[in-house]
């Protein structure tokens, strides 16, 4: 998809293959790429031109494995998140801050999956792409350029790409884009329940949903932290 929107930036389709009972799985040749063979696109300060130069020297018996390629579909969002931790950005007004984010994104050489495929075709080779390390590479892509021929009976050449999901908690493997709406719905339901059962003066002004109660060193509820949690959303709302 060439268009840049929510579908192309943050959503993807997945095909799950279920092994049939009693059917032997065919041995598929999966090519390995050693760690030292990977070229870090960002650390090397590479751009489209330098990548094209490397591809022009690609032979039929070799591969070029490039990691940490900035993803053009989310590069603006990535720069925006990084700027939130930038002390210098706090001194800019909203308009200047957003403008500086877009300018920074434009200076970064980034690619989409479609861009990489077109680049490979222009160099007379093929490319296999992985997004399996988007957490550790901040949304970056891994790409293997090659001129290998698929094995007999196979449609494509398979490579084993590195991943970063091992030993990570399951909840970190997905996002919850509707989490805020769910919290608001829970707050509204609690408020309506309290209004039905309590007099008006006893209904709390704010309802904050927590994953767990904060505890102090003695294992008791930390009321100071609770007070801060209530004050923070109130301060953000303003008068």
- Token readout for 84 is 């939130």
Render pLDDT for 8-46 as a digit per residue (tens, 0 to 9). Answer: 887 878 888 887 776 555 667 889 999 999 999 999 999
CA distance 224 to 227: 5
71: left (phi over 0), alpha (psi -120 to 50) or beta: beta
Helices (H) and strands (E) in the chain, counts: 7, 6
Percent residues over pLDDT 90 in the chain: 45
Residues in the chain: 239
Tokens of 207: 């309802």
Does the pLDDT of residue 97 top 90, yes or no?
A: no
Per domain, the residue ranges of the chain are 29-72+110-162, 179-237
pLDDT at 44: 95
- Kindly state the tokens that stand for 27: 């041995």
Domain 179-237 is of which CATH architecture? 2-Layer Sandwich (3.30)
* 66 neighbors 51 (Cβ within 8 angstroms): yes
pTM given for the model:
0.70
Owner of token pair 């706090």: 90
Who has greater pLDDT, 142 or 57? 142
Q: Which residue has the higher pLDDT, 91 or 219?
A: 219
* Among candidate residues 151, 157, 160, 153, the one with its CA nearest the CA of residue 125: 157
DSSP state of 20: P
Per-residue pLDDT tens for 128-142? Answer: 999 999 889 999 999
- 38 vs 122: CA distance, rounded Å: 22
Closest C-alpha among 193, 130, 188, 198 to residue 164? 130
pLDDT tens digits for range 152-168: 777 889 999 999 988 88
pLDDT score at 8: 83
Tokens for 157, please give them: 């050449």
DSSP state of 205: S
Query: Is there a contact between 68 and 89 (Cβ–Cβ < 8 Å)?
Result: no
């Amino acid at each position: 998809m060439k268009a840049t929107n929510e579908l192309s930036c943050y959503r993807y389709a997945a095909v799950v293959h279920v092994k049939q009972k009693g059917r032997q799985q065919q041995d598929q040749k999966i090519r390995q790429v050693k760690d030292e063979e990977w070229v870090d696109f960002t650390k090397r300060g590479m751009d489209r031109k330098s990548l094209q130069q490397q591809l022009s020297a690609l032979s039929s018996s070799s591969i070029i494995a490039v990691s940490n390629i900035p993803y053009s579909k989310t590069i603006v969002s990535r720069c925006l998140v990084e700027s939130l931790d930038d002390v210098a950005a706090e001194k800019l007004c909203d308009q200047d801050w957003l403008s500086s984010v877009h300018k920074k994104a434009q200076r970064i050489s980034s690619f989409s999956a479609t861009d990489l495929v077109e680049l490979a075709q222009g160099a007379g080779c093929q490319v296999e792409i992985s997004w399996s390390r988007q957490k550790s590479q901040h949304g970056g892509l891994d790409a293997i350029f090659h001129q290998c021929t698929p094995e007999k009976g196979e449609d494509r050449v398979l490579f084993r790409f590195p991943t970063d999901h091992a030993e990570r908690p399951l909840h970190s493997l997905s996002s919850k884009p509707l989490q805020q709406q769910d919290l608001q719905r829970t707050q509204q339901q609690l408020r309506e329940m309290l209004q039905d059962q309590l007099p008006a003066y006893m209904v709390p002004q704010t309802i904050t949903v927590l994953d767990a109660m904060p505890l102090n060193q003695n294992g008791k509820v930390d009321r100071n932290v609770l007070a801060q949690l209530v004050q923070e959303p109130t301060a953000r709302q303003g008068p």
